[in-house]
Structure 1
Amino acid sequence: MEIMLFSNGKVAGNTELLEYGYEWIESAMERTKAKKLLFIPYAMIRSSYDERASQLREAFARFGCDVTSIDTVSDPVRAIEEADGFLVSGGNTWVLNKMLHDLGLVRPLRKAILMHNKLYIGWSAGTNIAAPTIRTTNDMPIVTAAILPSLNLVPFQINPHYIEATIEGHMGETRDERIEEFLVVNPHEVVAGIPEGTMLQVSGRTLRYFSANGKPMKLFRAAQEPCYYRQDESIQFLMEHGC
């Protein structure tokens, strides 16, 4: 497997998508030799699929890659089978997950990634769907008949855009409190909170955490104090969760 799960697409000072992770992406490209990338834009609600595809085409040209958007092909399943890897955009996780299920693309994607070792690069919503379910997304369920099970590429839950903050005057729950609620109801789960500018990577069976800004990952377990993991600290045990 070669899976790259970014918290977000851009950080302050970046002009291109995933710019803060170019060095990490370049290493993955060298390992996988991926050249034909399929872009999956279904999470995008307020932006143009074509514009995002054009941005990615320009960004990934530096790695010698060609990017095709899945909405432009006549046979999405065949496009998945013929691609070397996948780019899955941020946006609304509920819409993205529902579209993949409605179009019958979950099984072909899992087969391509888990059995044929094709590269997967997701950010924000594209990271959420790599978990077993999308129950720890920050997004509103703006579609009806919302579907919870997702690609299940990693055996733990993820909360991208994780922020450890209390806003003055805001009386609603903090992110930590929302995750705590999730764990009260689902005590067997663990949740990895990854802040902006960070990434989880699975290469083979090895899981690593990368941070462009030094921010740690925050790991939540039921009935335990959350703990922090910094880049180069081992988090391999998460790959055994649920086994």
Structure 2
Amino acid sequence: MELFLLSNGKLPDEPALLGYANEHIQAMFKTFNIHSAVLIPYALIRSDYDARAQDLEDALGIKVSSIHHAEAPSEVIEQAQCILISGGNTWMLNQRLHENGLIVPIQRAVRERNVPYIGWSAGCNVATPSIRTTNDMPVSNSVVLPSLGLFPVQINPHYIDAHLSGHMGETRDERIAEFCAVNPSESVIALREGSLLHVSGNNLSYFSAKGQGFKVFRHGQETLEYQDTRALSSLLPFNCQ
């Protein structure tokens, strides 16, 4: 299995999508001989699907086609060399994946045929068992359906631990702690901007363009920050580095 789970699509000083992860992605493309990819853009609500595909084509140097043109989306996934799932609204993305019958085809492509999966923001969220740790507003009336479950632990992308002056609502830490209190058997990995988790075969690694760590939230345990994935060895069935 080959997964790139990115907190976000780009950094403020980067003109290209996935720029901070490009070196890692290009190495994977070379290993897998990737020349094309299918984009699943359903998370985008106020952006053009084809424009996003073109941006990715320019950034990655491969042919990128948006799945919204397909009459039979599941068949497109069956032929895909690589799957790209864009950021945007996680609720809309997960709903459309179910409506278009793509949950099982994507799971089979990634797990059985080893098709690489690259997802950022919402695309990262839907790779986990559920979207309950998304930061997004539920703009549709969809129920909380299961997501792809390619990665077995919940992730909170776009994680930030800053407390804005004058903001009287709960902090991100408090919201994640609430999730863990309601779901004490589950853990949450918090990914800061410019960071990613990479599953390659049975190996898990972590990269941060800013040299920052990730946090792990567990109910009843102190929340700590880590720089490598060995802290996740008790939670995940991978060789953590």
TM-score bucket of the superposed structures, by smaller chain = over 0.9
- Measured after TM superposition, the shift of residue 236 of structure 1 is 3.7
- Spell out, residue by residue over 1:176-199, the C-alpha distance to the aligned partner (whole angstroms, 9 max, x if none): 000000001000001000000000
**Can you give the 5+ residue segments of structure 1 that lack an aligned partner in the other structure?**
none
Give the Cα separation in 1 of the matches to 2:228 and 2:180.
Answer: 25
- Measured after TM superposition, the shift of residue 163 of structure 1 is 0.2
Aligned residue among 135, 139, 155 for 1:138: 135
Aligned partner of 1:27 in structure 2 is 27
State the SS of the aligned residue for 2:234: helix
CA contact (8 A) 2:197 2:207 kept: yes
- Measured after TM superposition, the shift of residue 145 of structure 1 is 2.3
Give the Cα separation in 2 of the matches to 1:208 and 1:144.
Answer: 36
Aligned residue among 124, 129, 132 for 1:127: 124
- Identity within the alignment, %: 49
CA contact (8 A) 1:207 1:236 kept: no
Aligned partner of 1:170 in structure 2 is 167
TM-score where L is the length of structure 1: 0.94
4+ residue runs of structure 1 moved beyond 2 angstroms?
145-148, 231-238
Q: How does 1:178-217 map to 2 (within 5 A)?
A: 178-217=175-214
- Measured after TM superposition, the shift of residue 147 of structure 1 is 3.0
Aligned CA-pair RMSD: 1.3
Give the Cα separation in 2 of the matches to 1:51 and 1:147.
Answer: 29
CA contact (8 A) 2:7 2:124 kept: yes
Aligned partner of 1:107 in structure 2 is 104
Range moving further from structure 2, 71-80 or 168-177: 71-80
Range moving further from structure 2, 180-189 or 72-81: 72-81
TM-score where L is the length of structure 2: 0.95
- Measured after TM superposition, the shift of residue 238 of structure 1 is 3.0
Q: How does 1:77-96 map to 2 (within 5 A)?
A: 77-96=74-93
State the SS of the aligned residue for 1:161: strand
Whether 1:75 and 2:77 are equivalent positions in the alignment is no
- Spell out, residue by residue over 1:55-93, the C-alpha distance to the aligned partner (whole angstroms, 9 max, x if none): 1111121xxx21111011222111100011111000000
Q: How many residues align?
A: 238
CA contact (8 A) 1:124 1:160 kept: yes
Going from structure 1 to structure 2, the CA distance change for 1:10 and 1:95 (only over 3 Å counts) comes to same
CA contact (8 A) 2:124 2:157 kept: yes
CA contact (8 A) 2:196 2:206 kept: yes
Whether 1:230 and 2:241 are equivalent positions in the alignment is no
- Spell out, residue by residue over 1:128-159, the C-alpha distance to the aligned partner (whole angstroms, 9 max, x if none): 00110000000011111233310000110000
State the SS of the aligned residue for 1:215: coil
Aligned partner of 2:237 in structure 1 is 240
Aligned partner of 2:40 in structure 1 is 40
- Measured after TM superposition, the shift of residue 4 of structure 1 is 0.1
State the SS of the aligned residue for 1:68: strand
Aligned residue among 153, 156, 165 for 2:153: 156
Give the Cα separation in 2 of the matches to 1:28 and 1:237.
Answer: 27
Q: Which amino acid aligns with 2:129?
A: P
CA contact (8 A) 1:11 1:20 kept: yes
CA contact (8 A) 2:39 2:85 kept: yes
